[in-house]
């Protein structure tokens, strides 16, 4: 599965009706594009960090299908102008092949969270490999993570050239704000890669921590 995630930031003074019109356009194109196997377009929840107002996440069969979709008239005529014409204050974008994953629970609804990041200059391949190993080890210890995927960015734009995408699904927000955040595997091990006070610090401080409710799972067994 090839994926595209865009975090959409509207100008603060953008009227609600205008926002809704933009979102409806993106929703229509997503729903009507045969190449889009699954998509999610939802407002973010309070507490995100550089997470945008909306998460727009699309899945394609493969990278060829993704590129074909972007070349089709609906995308060129309706989507591209929105991202070229100042509709958004800014947006963060990353396209990627789905990586290592665990799909354990079919969820009818829940909370989708993605952490989009990049490595600091000088991070060694060995450090990055160990970071990825520990990050992907979280679901083994933190049971509130029902479905997950760790991927590498293929193309990116925005604040950084995003290199890593860490997605999870939870039954509810508490699964993220409670067990995920509070488990010692997180703050006692994984967070060292994010913590400038630790020698392991390799993850750039500028990252996107964002989440939203979903009505259709994008990481579960059927996704």
Partner 1 sequence: MAGETVFVIDQITPKPGMGRAFLDAYIQKYAPNAKERGMHLEHTLVAPPVWLDDGSNTLFFVWSVKGGAKGVWGTLIGGRRGNALDEWWWKDAAPMIVSRERFFSSNPSDIASLTNV
Q: Could you tell me the smallest distance in angstroms from the CB atom of residue 56 to partner 1?
A: 27
Which residues in 81-146 belong to E strands, given as ranges? 90-103, 110-117
**In angstroms, rounded to a whole number, what is the distance separating the alpha carbons of residues 3 and 174?**
26
The answer to whether 20 contacts partner 1 (rule: CB under 8 A) is no
Q: Is 196 in the site for partner 1 (CB under 8 A)?
A: yes
A 10 A CB-CB count for 209 gives: 16
- Binding residue (CB under 8 A) for partner 1 from 74, 97, 127, 141: 141
206 binds partner 1 (CB under 8 A): no
User: Please, what is the minimum distance in Å from the beta carbon of residue 184 to partner 1?
Assistant: 5
**CB of 5 within 8 A of CB of 117?**
no
Regarding 199 and contact with partner 1 (CB under 8 A), the answer is: yes
183 binds partner 1 (CB under 8 A): yes
Contact residues for 17 (Cβ-Cβ < 8 A; gap 6+): none
124 scored as a contact of partner 1 (CB under 8 A): no
Least distance CB 193 / partner 1 (angstroms): 12
Q: What 3-state class would DSSP assign to 162?
A: coil
Choose among 221, 92, 215: nearest CA to 165.
92
Token pair for 207: 């990252």
Q: How far is the CB of 170 from partner 1 (least distance, A)?
A: 13
By CB under 8 A, name the binding residues for partner 1: 141, 178-179, 181-185, 187-189, 191-192, 195-199, 201
């Amino acid at each position: 599965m090839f994926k595209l995630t865009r975090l959409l930031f509207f100008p603060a003074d953008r009227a609600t009706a205008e926002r809704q019109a933009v979102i409806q356009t993106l929703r229509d194109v997503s729903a009507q594009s045969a190449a889009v196997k699954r998509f999610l377009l939802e407002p973010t929840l309070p507490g995100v960090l550089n997470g945008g107002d909306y998460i727009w996440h699309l899945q394609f069969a493969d990278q060829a299908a993704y590129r074909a979709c972007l070349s089709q008239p609906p995308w060129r005529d309706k989507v591209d102008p929105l991202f070229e014409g100042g509709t958004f204050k800014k947006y963060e974008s990353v396209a990627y092949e789905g990586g290592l994953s665990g799909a354990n629970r079919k969820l009818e609804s829940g909370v989708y969270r993605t952490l989009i990041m990049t490595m600091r200059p000088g991070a060694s391949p060995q450090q990055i490999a160990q970071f990825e190993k520990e990050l992907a080890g979280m679901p083994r210890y933190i049971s509130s993570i029902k479905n997950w995927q760790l991927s590498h960015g293929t193309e990116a734009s925005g604040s950084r050239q995003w290199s890593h995408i860490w997605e999870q699904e939870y039954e509810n927000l508490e699964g993220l704000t409670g067990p995920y955040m509070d488990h010692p595997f997180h703050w006692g091990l994984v967070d060292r890669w994010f913590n400038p006070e630790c020698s392991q610090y390799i993850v750039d401080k500028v990252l996107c921590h964002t989440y939203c409710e979903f009505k259709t799972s994008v990481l579960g067994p059927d996704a």
